[in-house]
Structures are given as C-alpha cells and as structure tokens.
A and B are shown apart, each in its own frame.
Chain A
C-alpha cells in the first residue's frame, strides 16, 4: 500500500521516498559513468596488445553484461538499504509529535468546540458593548438628575425666600396673620360703622 509519509515530509522538507529515489538515481548515474570509464580503460588496454582478437563490440557487449549484473546486485542491496532507511532513519515514530503540532497535545478542539469558543467570544463582546452602553445610560441619567435637582433646589430656594420675607415682616405664619388681618379689618369696619352712626 502507498504511504505518503507526509509527517516525515513535514519534518524533513522532502518525502523519504523522493530522497531514496534521488540516492538511487545518483548511485545509478555513478554506476553508468564508472562503467563507461572502465570500458574506455579496457579498450585502451586492448588496443595496447598486438594481434589482440577482442573487438570493441565484444568489449561493449561484456560491459553491458557486467553492468546488468552490477545493476541487479545493486538493486537488491539498494532495496534492503531503502527498507532500513525508510523504517529506521527517515521515519518519525508514531508517538512523536513535531514541535509545531505540540499545541494539539494540550488544546485539541473539535470543530463544534471551536465554534462554541467563537460564539462565546462574540457573545462576551456583545455583553461588553451592552454593559458599556448601560454605563453611558446611567451617566446620561445622572446628567438629567443634575438638571432636575437644580430645578427643585431653585423651587426650594424660592419658598425659603418667601418664608424669609414673611419672617422679616413679622408674618412668620401666613395663615395666622391672615386670620389676624381679617379680624382686624372686621373690627375696623365695626368701628367705622359705629362712628358713622354716631356722626349721623
């Protein structure tokens, strides 16, 4: 089965398979180059022997055979090395969490929990706005109270002033002095009537 080894790619920055592929290709290129060098050396050597019967074609044939042998051998070795490297070196054990994923160890929120957090945040912000405006409303009410208090104090002062005037003129209780005044004016009327009769 196919294992993308994405976690390893997250850590190494490349996929282990790609790495192995690059190593394989590098080895393979190296093998081809070496084979060509070996072949050219053999051709030089053969050219150096007098009456040598080996033709370059034969040399090429055996080079190819040797290359095939080496490649098969190399493939076997390489697949073992690949297996070991992929399992033991370029591999992140299942219990290991990369540093950037450590956060999921403490806070692993499900979608619903995350949404609940978001809802709570917006609800709290809404609550904050409501409280702030309630505060403003109370401050506005204080302003209104100041105006009303000033008006009521004016009225109280007005009555105090009235009371002071009455007290200054000896009529501390308006009602009583009204009664007194009425009696006096009645007496005065009687006196006048009396005087009038006498004068007639």
Chain B
C-alpha cells in the first residue's frame, strides 16, 4: 500500500508539473499572439491597411465580377465606327471639292462662252 501511495504521489507530481508547464506555455502563446497581432495592427495602421486583394471568386459578387464586359473592346469597336466616319467625311470632302472645282470650271466656261 505504501509503495502504491508513493507511486501515486510520483504520478501526481509528474502530472501537476506537466500541467504547470502547459499553463505557462498556453499563457505565453496567447501573450505572443497578442504582441504579434498588435505589431501587425501598427504596421497595418502605418500603410493604411493597403493589401493585395485575395481572389473574390467565392464572394457574393462573384457572378457580377465574372460577367464584367471588356470595356476596352467596347471603345475599340467604336474606333472602327469613327474611322469609317473619317472615310465617309473624307469622301464627302473630296466630292465637295470636286463639285466646287466642277462648278468653278463650268462658271468660267460659261462666262468665256457668253
């Protein structure tokens, strides 16, 4: 019985020693994490919280973001319209010039004739 009690006491000593250490480790871990987070917070405050965005494909707006049109292409397509208009207006301008030249020639011709 005595040996059993001694063995039990030894076991308790081992257990309580281990428990004390793990309490200290637990406290230290939370202490360090608090210090680390405060440091990160200071850093965050310094650079205004700017950060690289994570992928937002899993967010509530994923569908909206996925369906984003190609705005550059929309404008580039307009470019085609504008260059076509440029052609039309150039032709118009040449036609008008030709007409002006024609009407000038005819005026001179008629004047000479008359």
Contact = CB atoms under 8 A, between A and B. Distances in A.
A188 B99 CA distance: 11
20 contacts: A1-B4, A2-B5, A2-B8, A6-B16, A129-B51, A130-B54, A130-B59, A133-B54, A133-B56, A137-B65, A138-B61, A145-B71, A148-B74, A151-B75, A152-B78, A155-B78, A174-B92, A181-B95, A188-B102, A192-B110
Interface string B49-72: 001011110111110110010010
Interface residues of B, number: 34
B27 interface: no
Given A2-B9, A138-B64, A148-B71, A133 B16 contact: no
B78 A134 contact: no
A2 B106 contact: no
Interface string A82-100: 0000000000000000000
Contacts, number: 76
Contacts of A115: none
Q: Which 8 A-B pairs have the closest CB atoms?
A: A133-B53, A134-B56, A134-B59, A134-B61, A2-B8, A148-B71, A130-B59, A130-B56
Interface residues of A, number: 32
Interface string A103-134: 00000000000000000000000110111111
B78 A136 contact: no
A105 B22 CA distance: 23
B109 interface: yes
Interface of B: 4-5, 8-9, 12, 16, 51, 53-56, 58-62, 64-65, 68, 71, 74-75, 78, 81-82, 92, 95, 99, 102-103, 106, 109-110, 113
Nearest to A133: B53
A167 to B, nearest CB: 16
Given A130-B54, A133-B53, A199-B113, A1 B59 contact: no
